[in-house]
Structure 1
């Protein structure tokens, strides 16, 4: 349980940092990308306003209006661009490639015809050399298309993306490694508190056994002197009940103290058959039906005695809370596609439709409808079952169907 808390702490902290990094880096990249696109759009507009050229005759006020007062006009000359014009009949009438050297005239004409036929006002096209953003303008029956090499402008944004990803991944890995290193120290108070709690239960249980033994002996002596009475029988029942509770608490505490069982490949079909044989006579004597369906030769990683204890807990719980004249069912079936085996233990429970099944695995929890003297138990068995299932790396769930409650336990199959 403590290790699960530790792993969950590491997982949730890593996820939280991941979300923060994605938000932060994504925001920076988004702003950079938006500004780059805005810059490309502004340059294309200026080119169209100046007949596809950037020269000394450019309106300086218009440039500063678009790029801001701090923009240096000299930086306009860093861009690589070209333009092509068509008349109303779609014939090329001019081509300007004086501000780019890497794109031949044939390619410029081809790109120009491609954009002209598409009739789009703006967008981007790609050639073998680079990617170009474009805008079109129609004036006096003449269509002018200006192209801007956007690779230079987008380079800084692409670099931000690469650097951001490298820093983000590196930060996430370093943070996770540091978290793994310090998480043991962070949860140490919880570990100590849990250890003291288990030690207290174990020690208190052993201390309580002595006075209970004395009370039981005194009660037996009283019966030898005066014979059995209503009071001595009640005393004996309550002493036995309290002794059983103490034994269960000690077993649960010891189970949790044992950090890891020695797991090995065991054949669970045979173990479950042994458990059902021991319960069959008890179930039948109470006028209940007992249905068994166990697939043979199923193997999982577990510990034999502990798995037998798990079967006994689930069978005892099903028999204890089964309605009079009802049915206790046990099934062990494989799912070869998922490579899992499912142990299903169910019992008839007509009044269980509105029960809070999420609390069934809590210690000392018993459904209010079953709180009567006929139902012996303390609500510890299922909690012990959960601890065993966790040790076997399995999963347990509960469902209610057709007036029957089922506890489903899944394990990974082993060949």
Structure 2
């Protein structure tokens, strides 16, 4: 009957574990899905911004080039279009020789036309149509050295002669030779007997360019929204295998840790019984030491696994970090004296942070314990706590005669040790600093390591309460 009840209790506990594991797996998938969607959306947004910016920049440059081509041509022809379409206004007779007397000799265009194209290169796209002369809105102001002014507003209706003169005076006062004056692009050309200022109405091209830019932004936003929705729909299916693999790994560590505890307890109890019956020997002492070391390792692994699986932020309280650091430092004084370590402390009073008091005490103890383990015999240590603006800064330094890695942040990797042989002479497994880093991350803080004065210094920065 008792066995049946124990089995039922065991089955119930197993069922609760499976249900809890499934809940954690679902939360993990959601967290990974959110990160995946955010990274994908951000990447697509950056690509689209660069692409749309490039397209609109190219469109703007092309528009300005077309405008400048017309302005150069007008400036070279005293503010007027070259008369290059006379033949198109003739009545066709049907005789090729009479209709196109210059067909056999295309170089015999009007002098103004040939000169214009020769100066501006091949006929540009903006002037390729014979209608360009009639659809281009422009005016010019020729201010001569003798004070007279020749104003041509025949090709524009929106600007009067007085308005043209005022715009020309404004451009000359500005000192620029080309640019925009409102919706008009201008060019100043110095002639032998004065200055010619040509204005080109770019209102239509600028409006088209702005509309194109607005339309491209709208299309880009819509495309980004569609991509984000599609990624959200399909990301769960893509991430699920990865999340399940991570969840199985965490479950294995947790289950293995709990399963290892039982044989360790049995081994420790058996060793104690042997000592009671036959007295303490070298072998029983070694068994007890190794069991204790394994217990520390299992505890650290379970602690890391528990913190990784923590889906919700624990309830934080106002913690007096000054008292936590002082009490933890005092508790390690005996270990320091055993290794003849000189420890200096500089702990500011009443430094408070919002956090988990137990986790913060564990953080302080881990860093001090790590410093003692790796500090040279007869070396020095320092424990400091001070305020830096809205931050509370805690640091632990220890002298060290070994070789530190070039990238000291590797010290926070799980099971990393500075000696490649992974010597256990210090009693550690290279997992304490990983736990410390996890505690700091839980409190939204920052932990760093640096080489300093022939040793290592670990610094923790937390937000003050």
Q: So what's the TM-score if we normalise by structure 2?
A: 0.77
Distance in 1 between the 2:42 and 2:369 partners? 42
Q: Does 1:144 pair with 2:201?
A: no
Q: Does 1:222 pair with 2:274?
A: yes
- Which structure: larger Rg? 2
Q: How far did 1:270 drift? A: 1.9
| 2:165 counterpart (105, 109, 117) | 109
Q: Does 1:52 pair with 2:79?
A: yes
Task: Classify the secondary structure of the residue corresponding to 2:332.
Answer: helix
Contact 1:353 / 1:403 at 8 angstroms: preserved in 2?
no
Per the alignment, residue 387 of structure 1 pairs with 438
Per the alignment, residue 76 of structure 1 pairs with 133
Per the alignment, residue 184 of structure 2 pairs with 131
Per the alignment, residue 296 of structure 2 pairs with 244
Contact 1:331 / 1:343 at 8 angstroms: preserved in 2?
yes
Matching of residues 258-273 of structure 1 within 5 Å: 258-259=310-311, 260-273=313-326
Q: Does 1:94 pair with 2:145?
A: no
Task: Classify the secondary structure of the residue corresponding to 2:349.
Answer: coil
Matching of residues 20-35 of structure 1 within 5 Å: 20-35=47-62
> Which piece of structure 1 moves more, 353-362 or 3-12?
3-12
Q: How far did 1:360 drift? A: 0.5
Contact 1:332 / 1:344 at 8 angstroms: preserved in 2?
yes
Distance in 2 between the 1:30 and 1:102 partners? 29
Contact 1:352 / 1:405 at 8 angstroms: preserved in 2?
no
Q: What's the RMSD between the two structures over aligned residues?
A: 3.2
> Which piece of structure 1 moves more, 215-224 or 170-179?
170-179
Contact 1:40 / 1:133 at 8 angstroms: preserved in 2?
no
| 1:364 counterpart (415, 420, 423) | 415
Per-residue CA deviation, residues 215-267 of structure 1 (Å, 9 max, x unaligned), is: 33333343344433322322222222223222222222222222232223322
Distance in 2 between the 1:353 and 1:9 partners? 36
Q: How far did 1:377 drift? A: 0.8
Q: How far did 1:310 drift? A: 1.1
Task: Classify the secondary structure of the residue corresponding to 1:368.
Answer: coil
Q: How far did 1:332 drift? A: 1.3
Q: How far did 1:41 drift? A: 1.7
| 1:234 counterpart (283, 286, 293) | 286
How many residue pairs get matched?
407
Contact 2:185 / 2:199 at 8 angstroms: preserved in 1?
yes
> Which piece of structure 1 moves more, 170-179 or 188-197?
170-179
Contact 2:41 / 2:228 at 8 angstroms: preserved in 1?
yes
Per the alignment, residue 254 of structure 1 pairs with 306
Contact 2:138 / 2:198 at 8 angstroms: preserved in 1?
yes
Distance in 2 between the 1:301 and 1:169 partners? 40
Task: Classify the secondary structure of the residue corresponding to 1:306.
Answer: helix
Q: How far did 1:380 drift? A: 0.9
Per-residue CA deviation, residues 47-101 of structure 1 (Å, 9 max, x unaligned), is: 34554334865578869942349943224322221112233x2422411122223
Distance in 2 between the 1:179 and 1:242 partners? 45
Contact 2:32 / 2:243 at 8 angstroms: preserved in 1?
no
Per the alignment, residue 312 of structure 1 pairs with 365
Distance in 2 between the 1:401 and 1:83 partners? 74
Q: 1:394 to 1:213 in 2, by over 3 A?
A: same
Contact 1:42 / 1:66 at 8 angstroms: preserved in 2?
no
Contact 1:393 / 1:411 at 8 angstroms: preserved in 2?
yes
Per the alignment, residue 344 of structure 2 pairs with 291
Distance in 1 between the 2:174 and 2:251 partners? 80
Distance in 2 between the 1:181 and 1:389 partners? 34
Q: So what's the TM-score if we normalise by structure 1?
A: 0.86
Per-residue CA deviation, residues 351-397 of structure 1 (Å, 9 max, x unaligned), is: 34555412101111111179444311111111111111111111110
Matching of residues 3-14 of structure 1 within 5 Å: 9-14=36-41
Per the alignment, residue 102 of structure 2 pairs with none
Q: How far did 1:169 drift? A: 4.4
Contact 2:370 / 2:432 at 8 angstroms: preserved in 1?
yes
Distance in 2 between the 1:117 and 1:149 partners? 20
Contact 1:295 / 1:332 at 8 angstroms: preserved in 2?
yes
Per-residue CA deviation, residues 258-312 of structure 1 (Å, 9 max, x unaligned), is: 2232223322222222212212232233311122222122222211111111111
Contact 1:340 / 1:410 at 8 angstroms: preserved in 2?
yes
Contact 2:415 / 2:429 at 8 angstroms: preserved in 1?
yes
